[in-house]
């Protein structure tokens, strides 16, 4: 319950912070941090334009995408407070329930029969496939490290004994930040700033969505960012008491959003053909974490 | 209900009478009679199966006088599990088939033979699960292979169908040859043909080879690489309900065989488990990568079957490693997951094949690039196909997730429990493999569903496609109902799968390291979460509907990014959807382009064609060269088959004399 409320709060201003960071770094004043949410609220009040080619898939996909992310958010713990849904192996369901939303978004892009949206759909499917192993190896390593099998048990028993385990925590945060960037199709992979048709993955998939549905999709993106931020914060919260953990949570989320803003200000988008290599790096970093865990546990003996 | 031998005798009697009836009655009633035969045999075999699952193993001796003597038969929990799967899929198959074959009313002989062989096929599959004695098992196995061959070549007037059928027959007999070899070896070592004797093999190096030979025999049937090459040819050739039943059940009998032999394994669990785990991982990745690239949707489904066999194999491998490590939870979750995935796959794969059959019947093409927009013409088929696609991709709230979750759970349990670096790395690789396979099946099925059903039609058809008849949709509804019951009440199904595991393998539920209640709680949680998810989805969609219902939603063309005259041909195609995937995995799937050469001095543009296809690397570079060498060698024996009746009679006499001389000189006892 705690983490759900915290994530919902953060999702209101997460992309605002990213935009604010970017505007400050480029020497502009920029909008307030709640502006993106206000835009979404306006979209929620609008009518829509629907393509004649589409079917009911196009209508249900945004809602399904949103509810899949909500279900995933329900599984995220906050330190010693478990998520609303918590059981052994919940992170497996976490990954697969997100896949449900992705599945529907991909086919809803194909539903429009457009010559652009299929391209985004194809890339979304490819990159989410490539990112999956990194997530599972990461969770597998930490399951092995703590001897536990669920989000809550892993994070509540996680404590760093030696220097090498701090390294593991740092690497894990790096992997999760990058997973979040890939899942949301942000900067090194795709540039959401460019005009809609020129972006390559997520934005091109939702070209035909408008009005309420577009608002839902945009809010879901924010929610997804906040969700990954909460996951990262769990690597540091551990067994800290509530008074410290909540400010720490916000600090980490804001830090995460600022980092995204900085990355997007100073990096150029990769060539599409180089993206799979980049995504594979994450898998190898996760494998590094796994071997680190084996080292810490003395399994190499 | 009588003893088991009476059941078997009754089944044979029903089959015999039924076939006579099928020959005699008129064309119209044949599907009903076939359904009646299948139903009767279902009831006859299901009753002892339920008893066996409840804990009472059924054993008996079946007497075939003057021929084989007394053959021992049994239905234990393992047989019962597979018998129930066979029965359900066969019934849905016969219902669907009765609708599907209506379109082939001009092929009278084909249809008559078809129903006869269908009932033989169903009964022989049940017998495969019932025979404990190797000889009886082989007879039933052969009967099953031959009757399914006859079902595959339904359209035998078509040359390519016949070719696929011959390919199937040759590979199945390779399997039979290996199995016979295994059983003979077993008989020589132990003096018994029974499966049970596998457990009494002396502990030495050569006894593991009996297992390996039998495993290879069953692996051909199951479709492990590199023995998978019959699947992508046989499935597209067969009528769809047969593909559904074949992929749903026949292939699973290979899995049954593997379960049957590994349950008698007495040592080397770890070695065998690791071999199966590695082979299965490769199988599933190879299968799904090929599946993603195929534009023939039935071939795509065939490769996807190979992938799922790999997932089942991962479960078996984990189970064996669990026994080897003395880790009960790993063993139960591994084997239980494998059994549940067997059930799940038989459900959604037959559903998908039935859907594919309906599409084929309406559009007469198996190439997805010619389709599109079918969701408007065939909405019910589309929904069923969507459910099947999502279930096979393993996303909740569908049943495919449940079994994959159990296998994952077994893997994570193993990761925490095993000793030694090799096993740890192997298990993390298996987890990675499963995750990649999940992602790849997302690509495969979004592509297939999206290209077939969504967008605009890519080709005009002479006959406008329309929704299929109720009789063809009914089995799909039945399957979806069972799928949701697995998804929402996984605890019940897993408890029964666990009974099979504890009945077959040396594992105990009472072991302190394993708590059945936590697993069941977990599975109940999954069911509850799935239910919450479904209700959340429905209620959120309800809210959305309430909010937007009074707003104006303008209908317009798809946004062409400023281009105002888009044509349907510019839609994204299936091949372009997976092209970047194909380039990335070009070591598994090789693109083959064939293009006409453009003449140098061509003044006016003329039609020009380019076609790309993806080749099965293992088939091309491993199986075909071996087959070529064999045919080359066998050409020297071609003189034997010269087509003259006289020489065939001569061969007969020659062998009779040979046997006579052999007995006369005491060479044959």
pLDDT digits (tens, 9 = 90+) for B332-370: 999 999 999 999 999 999 999 999 999 999 988 999 989
Q: Give the residue ranges of DSSP H helices in B54-107.
A: 77-100
Provide Rg for chain A, Cα atoms. Answer: 19
User: What is the pLDDT, as a whole number, of residue A301?
Assistant: 62
- Tell whether A13 is within 8 A of chain B (Cβ): no
Lowest mean pLDDT among A34-43, A159-168, B138-147, B625-634: A159-168
Q: To the nearest whole angstrom, how far is the Cα of A268 from the nearest Cα of chain B?
A: 22
Q: To the nearest whole angstrom, how far is the Cα of A47 from the nearest Cα of chain B?
A: 5
CB spacing of A143 vs B412 below 8 angstroms: yes
Smallest CA–CA distance from B397 into chain A, residue: A97
Exposure string for A230-259, b = 16+ CB within 10 A, e = fewer: bbbbbbbbbeeeeeebbebbeebbbebbbe
User: What is the pLDDT, as a whole number, of residue B1?
Assistant: 46
Lowest mean pLDDT among A113-122, A152-161, B498-507, B627-636: A152-161
Smallest CA–CA distance from A84 into chain B, residue: B529
Q: To the nearest whole angstrom, how far is the Cα of B546 from the nearest Cα of chain A?
A: 12
**Look-up of token digits 């393992």:** B78
- Tell whether A266 is within 8 A of chain B (Cβ): no
Q: To the nearest whole angstrom, how far is the Cα of A163 from the nearest Cα of chain B?
A: 22
Smallest CA–CA distance from A128 into chain B, residue: B439
- In this predicted structure, the answer to whether residue A226 has a pLDDT above a threshold of 90 is yes
Smallest CA–CA distance from A87 into chain B, residue: B522
- For chain B, what is the mean pLDDT? 88
Structure tokens, A231: 């996951």
Percent of chain B scored above 90 by pLDDT?
45
Structure tokens, B612: 């790309």
Q: Which of B289, B375, B537, B582 to mutate to test the interface with A (most CBs of A within 10 A)?
A: B537
CB spacing of A71 vs B536 below 8 angstroms: yes
Structure tokens, B511: 């072991």
pTM for this entry: 0.94
Smallest CA–CA distance from B540 into chain A, residue: A63
Cα angle: B474, vertex B475, B478; to 5 degrees: 90
Spatial separation of the C-alpha atoms in residues A52 and B101, rounded to whole Å = 36
Select from B443, B560, B573 the Cβ nearest to the Cβ of A129: B443
Residues of A in contact with B548 (CB under 8 A): 47-48, 211-212
Q: Where are the domains of chain A?
A: 2-27+52-294
pLDDT digits (tens, 9 = 90+) for A67-109: 999 999 999 998 888 888 888 888 999 999 999 999 999 999 9
3-state percent helix, strand, coil for chain A, nearest multiple of 5: 70, 0, 25
pLDDT digits (tens, 9 = 90+) for B539-579: 999 999 999 888 888 888 888 777 777 788 888 888 889 98
Average pLDDT over residues B99-119: 85
Helices (H) and strands (E) in chain B, counts: 24, 5
| Residue B268: Cβ within 10 Å count | 16
Residues of A in contact with B405 (CB under 8 A): 89, 92-93, 96
Residues of B in contact with A88 (CB under 8 A): 409, 518, 522
Average pLDDT over residues A157-173: 78
Percent of chain B scored above 70 by pLDDT?
98
**Look-up of token digits 């070209």:** A207
Exposure string for B314-346, b = 16+ CB within 10 A, e = fewer: bbbbbbbbbbbbebbbbbbbbbbbbbbbbbbbb
Q: To the nearest whole angstrom, how far is the Cα of B557 from the nearest Cα of chain A?
A: 5
Show Cβ contacts of residue B125 under 8 Å, excluding neighbours closer than 6 positions.
B86, B90, B144, B249, B250, B253
Residues of A in contact with B392 (CB under 8 A): none
Average pLDDT over residues B240-245: 91
Select from A44, A126, A133 the Cβ nearest to the Cβ of B581: A126
User: What is the pLDDT, as a whole number, of residue B543?
Assistant: 94
Residues of B in contact with A89 (CB under 8 A): 405, 408-409, 412, 522
Q: To the nearest whole angstrom, how far is the Cα of A51 from the nearest Cα of chain B?
A: 5
User: What is the pLDDT, as a whole number, of residue B509?
Assistant: 65
CB spacing of B544 vs A63 below 8 angstroms: yes
| Range 83-122 of A in CB contact (< 8 A) with B | 85, 87-89, 92-93, 95-97, 99-100, 102-103, 106-107, 110-119, 121-122
H or E element in which residue B592 lies: strand B589-595
Spatial separation of the C-alpha atoms in residues A264 and A22, rounded to whole Å = 7
* CA A89 to the chain's CA centroid: 20
Residues of B in contact with A93 (CB under 8 A): 396, 401, 405, 526, 529
Q: Sign of dihedral through CA atoms A162, A164, A167, A168?
A: negative
Select from A70, A207, A283 the Cβ nearest to the Cβ of B559: A207
The model's confidence at residue A199, banded by pLDDT at 50, 70 and 90, is low
ipTM for this model: 0.94
Question: Which residue, B630, B651, B336, B389, is CA-closest to B501?
Answer: B336
| Range 160-199 of A in CB contact (< 8 A) with B | 197
SS3 letters for B454-523? CCCCCCCCCCCCCCCCHHHHHHHHHHHHHHHHHHHCHHHHHHHHHHHHHHHCCCCCCCCCCCHHHHHHHH
Cα angle: B188, vertex B189, B192; to 5 degrees: 70
- Tell whether A65 is within 8 A of chain B (Cβ): no
Question: Which one of A268-277, B5-14, B401-410, B549-558 scores highest in mean pLDDT?
Answer: B401-410
Residues of A in contact with B413 (CB under 8 A): 149
- For chain A, what is the mean pLDDT? 88
Smallest CA–CA distance from B423 into chain A, residue: A299
Residues of B in contact with A96 (CB under 8 A): 394-396, 401, 404-405, 438
User: What is the pLDDT, as a whole number, of residue B640?
Assistant: 84
User: What is the pLDDT, as a whole number, of residue A256?
Assistant: 93
Instruction: Please give the C-alpha separations between residue A274 and each of A188, B440, B514, in angstroms, as whole numbers.
Output: 10, 19, 46
Spatial separation of the C-alpha atoms in residues B337 and B430, rounded to whole Å = 15
Q: To the nearest whole angstrom, how far is the Cα of A149 from the nearest Cα of chain B?
A: 7
Question: Which residue, B177, B407, B442, B168, is CA-closest to B280?
Answer: B407
Instruction: Please give the C-alpha separations between residue A247 and each of A10, A173, A242, B164, B347, in angstroms, as whole numbers.
Output: 12, 18, 9, 67, 50
Structure tokens, A27: 């020497």
> Are the beta carbons of B20 and B13 closer than 8 angstroms?
no
CB spacing of B570 vs A66 below 8 angstroms: no
Q: To the nearest whole angstrom, how far is the Cα of A39 from the nearest Cα of chain B?
A: 18
pLDDT digits (tens, 9 = 90+) for B59-78: 778 777 766 678 888 888 89
Spatial separation of the C-alpha atoms in residues B291 and B307, rounded to whole Å = 8
Select from B416, B435, B584 the Cβ nearest to the Cβ of A143: B416
> Are the beta carbons of B323 and B331 closer than 8 angstroms?
yes
Spatial separation of the C-alpha atoms in residues B336 and A253, rounded to whole Å = 41
CB spacing of A53 vs B408 below 8 angstroms: no
The model's confidence at residue B511, banded by pLDDT at 50, 70 and 90, is low
User: What is the pLDDT, as a whole number, of residue A162?
Assistant: 65
Show Cβ contacts of residue B163 under 8 Å, excluding neighbours closer than 6 positions.
B233
- In this predicted structure, the answer to whether residue B657 has a pLDDT above a threshold of 80 is yes
Smallest CA–CA distance from B533 into chain A, residue: A71
Q: To the nearest whole angstrom, how far is the Cα of B487 from the nearest Cα of chain A?
A: 13
User: What is the pLDDT, as a whole number, of residue A115?
Assistant: 81
pLDDT digits (tens, 9 = 90+) for B126-184: 999 998 888 889 999 999 999 999 999 888 888 888 999 999 999 999 999 999 999 99
Select from B397, B428, B440 the Cβ nearest to the Cβ of A129: B440
Q: Which of A41, A56, A118 to mutate to test the interface with B (most CBs of B within 10 A)?
A: A118
Pairing of strands B610-616, B589-595: antiparallel
Structure tokens, A168: 């593991």
**For residue B296, what are the β-bridge partners?**
B367
Query: What is the phi/psi pair of residue B156, to 5°?
Result: -70, -10
- Tell whether A138 is within 8 A of chain B (Cβ): no
- Tell whether A32 is within 8 A of chain B (Cβ): no
User: What is the pLDDT, as a whole number, of residue B292?
Assistant: 93
């Amino acid at each position: 319950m705690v983490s759900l409320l915290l994530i919902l709060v953060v999702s209101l201003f997460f992309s605002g912070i990213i935009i604010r960071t970017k505007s400050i770094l480029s020497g502009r004043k920029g909008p307030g941090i709640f502006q993106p949410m206000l835009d979404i609220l306006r979209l929620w009040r609008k009518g829509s334009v629907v393509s004649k080619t589409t079917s009911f898939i196009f209508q249900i996909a945004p809602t399904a995408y949103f509810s899949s992310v909500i279900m995933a958010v329900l599984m995220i713990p906050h330190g010693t407070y478990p998520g609303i849904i918590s059981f052994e192996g919940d992170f497996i369901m976490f990954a697969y329930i997100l896949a449900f939303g992705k599945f529907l978004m991909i086919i809803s892009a194909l539903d429009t029969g457009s010559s652009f949206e299929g391209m985004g759909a194809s890339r979304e499917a490819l990159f989410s496939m490539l990112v999956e192993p990194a997530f599972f190896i990461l969770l597998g390593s930490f399951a092995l490290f703590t001897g536990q099998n669920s989000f809550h048990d892993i994070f509540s028993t996680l404590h760093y004994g030696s220097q090498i385990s701090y390294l593991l925590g740092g690497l894990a945060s790096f992997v999760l930040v990058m997973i979040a960037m890939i899942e949301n199709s942000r900067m090194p992979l795709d540039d959401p700033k460019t005009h809609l048709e020129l972006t390559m993955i997520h934005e091109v998939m939702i070209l035909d969505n408008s009005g309420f549905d577009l608002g839902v999709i945009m809010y879901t993106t924010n929610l997804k960012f906040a969700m990954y931020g909460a996951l990262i914060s769990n690597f540091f919260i551990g067994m800290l008491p509530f008074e410290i953990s909540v400010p720490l949570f916000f600090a980490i989320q804001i830090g995460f959003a600022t980092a995204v803003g900085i990355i997007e200000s100073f990096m150029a988008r990769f060539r599409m053909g180089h993206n799979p290599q980049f995504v594979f790096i994450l898998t190898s970093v996760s494998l590094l974490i796994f071997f680190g865990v084996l080292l810490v546990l003395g399994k190499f003996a | 209900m009588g003893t088991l031998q009476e059941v078997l005798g009754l089944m044979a009697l029903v089959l015999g009478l039924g076939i006579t009836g099928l020959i005699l009655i008129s064309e119209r009633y044949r599907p009903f009679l076939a359904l009646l035969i299948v139903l009767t045999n279902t009831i006859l075999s299901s009753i002892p199966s339920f008893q066996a699952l409840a804990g009472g193993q059924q054993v008996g001796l079946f007497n075939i006088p003057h021929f084989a003597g007394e053959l021992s038969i049994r239905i234990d929990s393992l047989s019962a599990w597979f018998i129930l799967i066979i029965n359900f899929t066969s019934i849905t198959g016969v219902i669907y088939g009765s609708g599907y074959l209506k379109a082939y009313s001009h092929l009278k002989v084909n249809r008559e033979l078809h129903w006869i062989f269908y009932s033989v096929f169903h009964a022989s599959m049940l017998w495969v699960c019932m025979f404990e004695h190797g000889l009886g098992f082989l007879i039933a196995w052969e009967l099953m292979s031959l009757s399914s061959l006859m079902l595959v070549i339904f359209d035998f007037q078509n040359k390519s169908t016949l070719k696929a059928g011959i390919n199937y027959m040759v590979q199945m007999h390779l399997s039979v040859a290996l199995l016979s070899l295994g059983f003979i070896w077993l008989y020589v070592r132990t003096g018994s043909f029974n499966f049970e004797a596998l457990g009494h093999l002396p502990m030495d190096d050569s006894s593991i080879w009996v297992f390996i030979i039998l495993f290879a025999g069953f692996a051909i049937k199951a479709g492990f690489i590199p023995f998978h090459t019959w699947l992508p040819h046989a499935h597209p050739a067969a009528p769809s309900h047969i593909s559904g039943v074949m992929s749903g059940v026949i292939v699973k009998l290979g899995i049954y065989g593997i379960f049957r032999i590994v349950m008698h394994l007495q040592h080397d669990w770890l070695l065998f488990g690791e071999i199966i785990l590695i082979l299965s991982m490769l199988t599933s990745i190879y299968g799904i990568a090929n599946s993603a690239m195929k534009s023939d949707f039935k071939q795509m489904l065939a490769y996807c079957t190979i992938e799922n066999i790999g997932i089942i194999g991962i479960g078996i491998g984990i189970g064996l490693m669990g026994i080897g490590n003395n880790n009960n939870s790993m063993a139960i979750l591994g084997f239980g997951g494998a059994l549940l995935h067997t059930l799940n796959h038989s459900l959604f794969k037959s559903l998908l094949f039935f859907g594919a059959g309906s599409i084929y019947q309406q559009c007469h093409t198996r190439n997805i690039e010619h389709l599109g927009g079918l969701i408007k013409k065939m909405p019910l088929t589309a929904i069923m196909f969507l459910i099947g696609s999502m279930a096979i991709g393993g996303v909740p709230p569908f049943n495919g997730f449940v079994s994959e979750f159990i296998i994952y759970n077994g893997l994570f349990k193993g990761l925490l429990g095993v000793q030694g670096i090799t096993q740890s790395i192997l298990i993390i690789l298996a987890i990675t493999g499963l995750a990649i396979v999940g992602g790849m099946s997302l690509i495969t099925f979004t592509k297939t569903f999206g290209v077939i059903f969504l967008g605009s039609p890519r080709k005009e058809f002479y006959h406008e496609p329309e929704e299929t008849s109720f009789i063809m949709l009914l089995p799909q509804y039945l399957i979806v109902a069972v799928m949701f019951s697995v998804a929402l009440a996984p605890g019940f199904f897993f408890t029964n799968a666990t009974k099979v595991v504890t009945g077959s393998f040396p594992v105990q539920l009472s072991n302190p390291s394993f708590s059945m209640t936590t697993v069941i709680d977990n599975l109940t949680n999954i069911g509850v979460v799935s239910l919450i998810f479904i209700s959340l989805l429905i209620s959120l969609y309800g809210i959305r509907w309430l909010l937007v219902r009074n707003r104006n939603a303008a209908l317009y063309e798809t946004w062409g990014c400023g281009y105002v005259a888009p044509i349907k041909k510019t839609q994204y195609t299936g091949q372009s959807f997976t092209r970047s995937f194909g380039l990335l995995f070009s070591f598994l799937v090789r693109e083959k382009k064939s293009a006409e050469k453009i003449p140098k001095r061509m003044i006016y543009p003329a039609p020009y064609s380019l076609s790309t296809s993806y080749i099965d690397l293992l088939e091309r570079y491993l199986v075909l060269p071996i087959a070529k060498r064999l045919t080359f060698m066998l050409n020297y024996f071609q003189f034997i088959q010269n087509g003259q009746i006289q020489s065939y009679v001569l061969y007969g006499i020659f062998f009779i004399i040979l046997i006579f001389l052999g007995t006369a000189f005491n060479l044959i006892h």
